[in-house]
Structure 1
């Protein structure tokens, strides 16, 4: 029997429509301004003087396209590194017969509540000679206990009979991981991989703390300089400063606006599976 909609359901629809408008309108304004070659501030439905010169200025100027490539590199390498650490760590945590498994799990959970702090962490990175290298901005976000716990919860949802069957067939623990666990974890890998990728792409803090070499700055660092007006790239093709600034903002958010719709079903499934135990 079909459930009848209540006043509460209609209220939720109205609230979500309002929230969507609040989020979409600023993005739409920035998009229109990035395509408008006329210097005019205010809300417009369509560009008064359409042109792609703002985007050409972004991608043809070394001030921005080099940081863009740095962001692409660190996002790809960091996401792969983070997924490798999270999956291997989660697989170890579901080995119930492993001595000290509970101790290791508690130690990692302890780091989610307490940490050494910003200054001790910086001193450790400096002692290891990782400052002013891309390695530090790749490794720091990669070691994420929260993502490891999510992956462990997903692995625990895999039936034990599959592990037992693989062991009877003579499969090694690593073979089980590669041939059984990973193929069944596409949803979790996509969800957690997307979270890693967004974290790396939007990373600003680690670059601010550990990188002083301008040549190693990512797109977010340069984007801040552009918005503040201290490092604005040369506008070409009739583009104004306002056009270039807005084009840079769209370039920063566009990749994941394109990727997310294709990953949405995996994202929802990957986060929810393993969250509820029977």
Structure 2
């Protein structure tokens, strides 16, 4: 049966769609501008001002220059190593912690949880954290970007809440059959938590992919730089010598196109991950929502 909307509801729906459309355009246009600029002719791009809706003199020169820089490929390799190893370890450690705090009758459960929650609001600061990494011999090591960040308190709380929603009868039946905690976690709890685990992959993956601050702080060898640190050098420090050779009088023009192309190279891969996880995202977040 079709529900007839009142005049006020129709007006609200039209205004709602209009406002949301404006928000979508505001969010998408910057990325569209960067994409079109990266495919534009450098000289024409420098002479243009205002909105950019299509490439100006389509060419791939900027992308060819970007991939001529050996640091881009090394940055990709370092980022992929940190991403793959980091996400795997993050999921394992977060799942272990969430499982522990989701069980009933655990000794000192509340005091331990309060101590963990305390770290969400207060920390020792950057200098003590850096000195800790130094004492652990993780300065100038990719492991310094993985080990200290293996558990996010926020993500652990979401995962714990999701585990608590699984009926106790399943775990009790497994215990009767002789299953231990590791068997219950990896063969019962995690297979039933695919949606929330997909959300964890997205949260941790985006965080690692976009991370640049601690990488720029603890890494000394440029061969270990992840992609985002290299991107920062190109955009902020204007370090494009490795890509700008032979540009001649158009050096300044090609520099702008190179910056746009570098942004696309560093951004597009993580954007392609989201569509594969989107179907799990909404249900996963709702399952892991904080509840009383």
TM-score range relative to shorter protein: over 0.9
Residue 289 (structure 2) pairs with residue 275 (structure 1): yes
- Number of residue equivalences: 278
Structure 2 residue runs of 5 or longer lacking an equivalent are 248-252
Matched ranges for 1:1-278 at <5 A: 2=3, 4=5, 5-39=9-43, 40-41=45-46, 42=49, 43-228=51-236, 230-232=238-240, 233-235=242-244, 240-275=254-289, 277=291
Under a length normalisation based on structure 1, what TM-score does the superposition of the two structures give? 0.93
Cα pair distance change 1:224/1:276, threshold 3 Å: closer
- The alpha-carbon deviation at position 11 of structure 1 amounts to 2.4
- The alpha-carbon deviation at position 62 of structure 1 amounts to 0.8
Structure 1 residue runs of 5 or longer lacking an equivalent are none
CA distance in 2, matches of 1:274, 1:193: 14
CA distance in 2, matches of 1:173, 1:52: 55
- The alpha-carbon deviation at position 245 of structure 1 amounts to 1.0
Under a length normalisation based on structure 2, what TM-score does the superposition of the two structures give? 0.89
CA distance in 2, matches of 1:89, 1:190: 17
- The alpha-carbon deviation at position 13 of structure 1 amounts to 1.7
- The alpha-carbon deviation at position 235 of structure 1 amounts to 4.1
Secondary structure of the 1:146 match is helix
Residues 5-14 or 254-263, more deviating = 5-14
Q: Deviations over 1:193-225 (max 9, x none)?
A: 111000000001111222222221111111111
- The alpha-carbon deviation at position 102 of structure 1 amounts to 1.8
